[in-house]
């Protein structure tokens, strides 16, 4: 066994007749489309070495050890244990440069024997066949005239369509395109590859004669000399960039001083590594992805919102399944001093004892540090706008105060204000997010006393909901004016559905009106106490009405029906109108009503205020709501219909109805091309089915429709008279239209004439006032029954 011969590729083939990648090896991974970083870095390194003068003292470029098993005597066969990726790429580079320099004769002397390739794969027969074809292929055009090398090869008659399914062949084609992109403009590099006297590229060869290629040997040998992972490459190249960053800044570690590059290198291998250890991949025990995910999140929050590239950078960092590579970070300028300073500050602040995350806030009410760190280690791009704004505020506070010590109370107050503003601001576009980030940065000078600033400033900040900002001002003034307000406001804000937005309580208790007259600091104590008593009462009612998930329904849609007793509280939802849903992201949600944002929500919130004024926390809520519902009189007919027929909301699965062409349609889903019913006919039908107006001779069914040219209707059927009667009841304006289809029969004709029907083209027809429809149907049923 020879130890560590330093040779180039030609010398390897001088020593051994053939190179065969053994079956135990994986496919050619370096050519995979996803391996852009590793591939580009390796090819760039090879090109630099090949272009240096032959007598350059830095040459040769040594590619480290290549281990292999040697089989046979005389004409031996070398089977790499480790080095497959490097050998494959170098083989393809020889083929390409021979084409580029028209040096096929020299290429054949080295790589062709008996019409077959001296380098091949035994992983699959197709891979072996491909290398035999490639080594003999001589393109008729020069590389400069070929835009796509892979396409050129795939178009050759010797290229089998089935090879598209061979991952090694496809990886080879990707690599050839990458080589083409990197070397197309080069000249005379093939000779440098072959030069054994002054080699440009070498490796240390360990060949194990007749050792045999066992799985055990492969595993043991391949555990050494592994190529760098993408993260290790990233870290190495980032550390090079750090040499020109934060010049003059000194970082202390263990009593020793370091510049930024050395400090980060040491921390990544010690304390920071301990922090990420719990987030490693259980299969590989690597935490590379966790580090890269955090890098991505830090890059997101350290971009300058004033930059013209800001929105593009945010979009790129948030999109894509694959983690950004070093090339991505470097080419977009994301590894700047802002990134580095933020990274050091955050990771040093988070590093606790024994690799535990150090939590700097008193509790997790406004920012859950532990949960957030877990989230960004698993996916640094999957952050909502609100989470990114919180993270900006969190990191900026640490950057500002860490060197002088963190005031936990001030930190908590800061995160509370940012949370309330961010979570209650709508983000429909990336530019909305940018404005909020600018707002956060403008507030940084007030982090020591954010509550005082918000209470006193005319307009503390831009970039957030103006309604929420006004609410924050009122709450800050109340908290600073009287000690009794803090626990009440904290309790209300912590409600899982209100999420810090409690302006409706300030409105319902008339505090908002009072604040517009004079600031709370000027009120006497008794006025504060009285307002606090009203606040407690209304908060109790709100807690009875809403759980953390949304509306708490005591059954039969009592809250909705009670609200309708006072007026039309429905909100627009596209072309529809909504009874409201719990999802806070929806256009027509209970949260939107509580916010009072917009003309419709404000008037709807006023109805809720009126309802609350009629309720008490001391009596059964369902009973109180029933009394309101039952006491309804002199209201719009459509509201009365819904109030008296809670099944309407059962039908409207998404709580939507549509007003169109003078009709009110109940939607099963959200569009008219889905099943829909007509309000008044549906309510009449439910009465007929529920027994309120039970018919003895007529059987009722409801016919919903799924188009816009048909109208929903009630169908009544009966064969009591010896003939089949079909009754259809539809709505037309303020009356029902009843159409009856029946065979010609004297008895039927006489009966229907007595009921006021007239002969129509296809039977009998009559209009019935909605208010008398039930009496009419009772009389019709009795007439049928009498016969």
Q: Which two tokens stand for residue 9?
A: 């590729």
Residue 174 pLDDT > 70, yes or no? yes
Is residue 62 within 8 A of residue 200, CB to CB? The reply is: no
Exposed e or buried b for every residue in 443-453, given b needs 16+ CB within 10 A?
beebbeebbeb
* Residue 716 host element (H or E): strand 713-718
Q: Give the list of residues 6+ apart from residue 762 with CB closer than 8 angstroms, or none.
A: 739, 741
pLDDT at 760: 83
Mean pLDDT of the chain: 89
Residue 692 pLDDT > 70, yes or no? no
Is residue 543 within 8 A of residue 490, CB to CB? The reply is: no
How many distinct helices (H) and strands (E) make up the chain? Answer: 35, 23
- ∠ CA 553-557-558, rounded to 5°: 85
Give first-to-last CA distance, the chain, whole Å: 113
Q: Give the list of residues 6+ apart from residue 518 with CB closer than 8 angstroms, or none.
A: none
Bigger pLDDT: 722 vs 549? 549
Query: Residue 143's closest CA among 172, 174, 101?
Result: 101
pLDDT at 413: 97
Identify the band that residue 228 occupies on the pLDDT scale cut at 50, 70 and 90.
low
Give Cα separations from 619 to 544, 611, 612 (angstroms): 12, 15, 13
Give percent above pLDDT 70 in the chain: 94
* Residue 120 host element (H or E): strand 119-121
In DSSP notation, 33-72 reads TT-HHHHHHHHHHHHHHHHS-TT-TTPSEEEEEEEEEEES
Identity of the highest mean pLDDT range in 278-287, 694-703, 760-769: 760-769
Give Cα separations from 187 to 31, 90, 192, 448 (angstroms): 24, 17, 10, 64
Radius of gyration of the chain (CA): 39
The Cα–Cα gap between 154 and 174 comes to 12
The Cα–Cα gap between 450 and 480 comes to 12
The Cα–Cα gap between 315 and 334 comes to 13
The Cα–Cα gap between 579 and 569 comes to 8
Give percent above pLDDT 90 in the chain: 65
Residue 688 CB-density burial (10 A; 0-12 exposed, 13-18 middle, 19+ buried): buried
The Cα–Cα gap between 400 and 477 comes to 26
pLDDT in tens, 95-151: 999 999 999 999 999 999 988 999 988 767 788 889 999 999 999 999 999 999 999
Bigger pLDDT: 462 vs 35? 462
pLDDT at 147: 93
Q: Kindly give the residue spans of alpha helices, DSSP state H, lying in 155-210.
A: 167-183, 190-194
Residue 177 pLDDT > 70, yes or no? yes
Q: Which two tokens stand for residue 432?
A: 């909305």
58-67, 186-195, 536-545: the lowest-pLDDT one: 58-67
**How many C-beta atoms surround the C-beta of residue 308 within 10 A?**
7
Task: Kindly state the average pLDDT of the residues 605-626.
Answer: 96
The Cα–Cα gap between 524 and 526 comes to 6
Q: Which two tokens stand for residue 587?
A: 């256009």
Is residue 286 within 8 A of residue 229, CB to CB? The reply is: yes
Task: Kindly state the average pLDDT of the residues 401-421.
Answer: 95
What one-character DSSP code corresponds to residue 402?
G
- ∠ CA 8-9-10, rounded to 5°: 95
What one-character DSSP code corresponds to residue 696?
S
The Cα–Cα gap between 11 and 197 comes to 11
Identity of the highest mean pLDDT range in 370-374, 596-600, 660-664: 370-374
pLDDT in tens, 336-363: 999 999 999 999 999 988 889 999 999 9
pLDDT at 646: 96
| β-pair partners for 703 | 713
pLDDT in tens, 241-273: 898 899 889 999 888 899 998 899 888 878 898
The Cα–Cα gap between 191 and 197 comes to 11
Residue 5 pLDDT > 80, yes or no? no
Q: Give the list of residues 6+ apart from residue 129 with CB closer than 8 angstroms, or none.
A: 160
pLDDT at 24: 62
Query: Residue 378's closest CA among 270, 293, 448?
Result: 293
pLDDT in tens, 32-48: 888 888 899 899 999 99
Identity of the highest mean pLDDT range in 187-201, 556-570, 749-763: 556-570
- Reduce the DSSP state of residue 663 to 3 states and report it: strand
- Reduce the DSSP state of residue 32 to 3 states and report it: coil
pLDDT in tens, 210-227: 444 443 444 333 433 344
pLDDT at 321: 66
Exposed e or buried b for every residue in 383-419, given b needs 16+ CB within 10 A?
bebbbbbbbbbbbbbbbbbeeeeeeeebbbbbbbbbb
Asked, as a colleague might, if the bond just before 60 is cis with ω within 30 of 0, I would say: yes
Identify the band that residue 230 occupies on the pLDDT scale cut at 50, 70 and 90.
confident
pLDDT at 214: 40
pLDDT at 576: 96
Is residue 414 within 8 A of residue 392, CB to CB? The reply is: no
Identify the band that residue 207 occupies on the pLDDT scale cut at 50, 70 and 90.
low
Q: Which two tokens stand for residue 400?
A: 């500002």
Task: Kindly state the average pLDDT of the residues 226-246.
Answer: 77
């Amino acid at each position: 066994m020879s130890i560590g011969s330093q040779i180039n590729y030609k010398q390897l083939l001088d020593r051994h007749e053939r190179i065969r990648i053994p079956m135990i090896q994986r496919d050619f991974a370096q050519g995979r489309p996803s391996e852009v970083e590793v591939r580009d870095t390796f090819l760039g390194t090879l090109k630099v070495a090949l272009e240096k003068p032959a007598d350059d003292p830095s040459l040769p470029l040594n590619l480290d050890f290549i281990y292999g098993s040697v089989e046979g005597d005389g004409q031996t066969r070398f089977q790499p244990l480790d080095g497959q990726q490097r050998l494959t790429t170098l083989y393809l580079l020889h083929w390409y440069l021979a084409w580029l320099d028209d040096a096929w004769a020299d290429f054949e002397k080295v790589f062709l024997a008996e019409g077959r390739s001296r380098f091949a794969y035994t992983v699959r027969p197709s891979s072996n066949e491909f290398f035999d074809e490639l080594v003999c292929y001589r393109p008729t055009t020069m590389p400069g005239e070929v835009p796509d090398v892979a396409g050129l090869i795939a178009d050759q008659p010797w290229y089998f369509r089935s090879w598209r399914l061979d991952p090694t062949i496809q990886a080879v084609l990707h690599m050839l395109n990458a080589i083409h992109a990197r070397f197309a403009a080069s000249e005379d590099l093939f000779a440098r590859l072959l030069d054994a006297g002054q080699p440009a590229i070498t490796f240390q060869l360990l060949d194990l004669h007749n050792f045999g290629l066992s799985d055990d040997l492969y595993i043991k040998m391949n555990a050494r000399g592994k190529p760098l992972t993408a993260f290790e490459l990233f870290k190495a190249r980032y550390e090079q960039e750090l040499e020109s960053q934060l010049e003059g800044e000194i970082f202390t570690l263990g009593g020793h001083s370091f510049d930024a590059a050395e400090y980060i290198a040491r921390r990544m291998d010690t304390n920071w590594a301990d922090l990420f250890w719990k987030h490693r991949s259980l299969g590989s025990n690597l935490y590379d992805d966790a580090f890269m995910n955090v890098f991505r999140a830090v890059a997101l929050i350290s971009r300058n919102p004033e930059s013209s590239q800001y929105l593009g950078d945010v979009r790129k960092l948030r999109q894509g399944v694959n983690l950004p590579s070093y090339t991505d970070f470097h080419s977009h300028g994301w590894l700047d001093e802002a990134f580095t300073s933020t990274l050091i500050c955050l990771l040093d602040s988070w590093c606790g004892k024994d690799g535990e995350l150090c939590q700097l806030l008193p509790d997790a009410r406004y920012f859950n540090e532990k949960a957030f760190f877990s989230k960004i280690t698993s996916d640094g791009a999957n952050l909502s706008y609100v989470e990114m704004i919180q993270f900006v505020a969190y990191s900026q506070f640490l950057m500002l105060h860490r060197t002088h010590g963190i005031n936990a109370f001030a930190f908590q107050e800061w995160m509370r204000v940012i949370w309330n503003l961010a979570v209650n601001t709508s983000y429909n576009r990336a530019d909305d997010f940018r404005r909020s980030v600018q707002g956060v940065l403008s507030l940084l000078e007030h982090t020591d006393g954010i509550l005082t600033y918000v209470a006193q400033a005319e307009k503390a900040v831009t970039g957030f909901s103006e309604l929420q900002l006004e609410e924050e001002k009122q709450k800050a003034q109340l908290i600073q004016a009287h000690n009794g307000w803090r626990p009440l406001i904290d309790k209300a804000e912590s409600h899982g559905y209100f999420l810090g937005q409690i302006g409706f309580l300030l409105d319902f208790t008339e505090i908002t009106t009072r604040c517009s007259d004079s600031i709370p600091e000027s009120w006497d104590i008794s006025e504060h106490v009285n307002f606090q008593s009203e606040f407690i009462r209304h908060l109790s009612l709100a807690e009875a009405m809403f759980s953390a998930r949304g509306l708490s329904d005591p059954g039969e849609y009592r809250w909705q029906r009670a609200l309708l007793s006072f007026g039309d509280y429905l909100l627009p939802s596209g072309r529809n109108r909504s009874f409201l849903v719990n999802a806070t992201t929806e256009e027509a949600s209970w949260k939107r009503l509580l916010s009072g944002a917009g003309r419709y929500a404000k008037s709807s919130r006023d109805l809720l205020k009126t309802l609350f004024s009629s309720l008490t926390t001391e009596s059964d809520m369902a009973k109180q709501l029933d009394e309101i519902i039952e006491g309804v009189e002199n209201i719009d007919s459509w509201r009365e219909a819904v109030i008296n027929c809670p099944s309407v909301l059962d039908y409207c699965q998404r709580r939507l109805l549509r007003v169109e062409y003078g009709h009110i349609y109940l939607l099963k889903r959200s569009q008219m091309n889905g099943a829909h019913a007509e309000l008044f006919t549906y309510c009449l039908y439910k009465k007929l089915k529920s027994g309120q107006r039970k018919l003895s001779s007529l059987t009722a069914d409801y016919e919903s429709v799924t188009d816009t040219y048909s109208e929903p209707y009630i169908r009544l059927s009966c064969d009591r008279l010896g003939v089949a009667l079909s009754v259809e009841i539809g709505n037309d304006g303020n009356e029902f239209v009843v159409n009856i289809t029946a065979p010609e029969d004297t008895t039927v004709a006489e009966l229907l004439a007595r009921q006021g029907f007239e002969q129509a083209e296809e039977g009998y027809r009559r209009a019935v006032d909605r208010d008398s429809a039930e009496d009419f149907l009772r009389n019709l049923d009795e007439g049928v029954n009498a016969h």
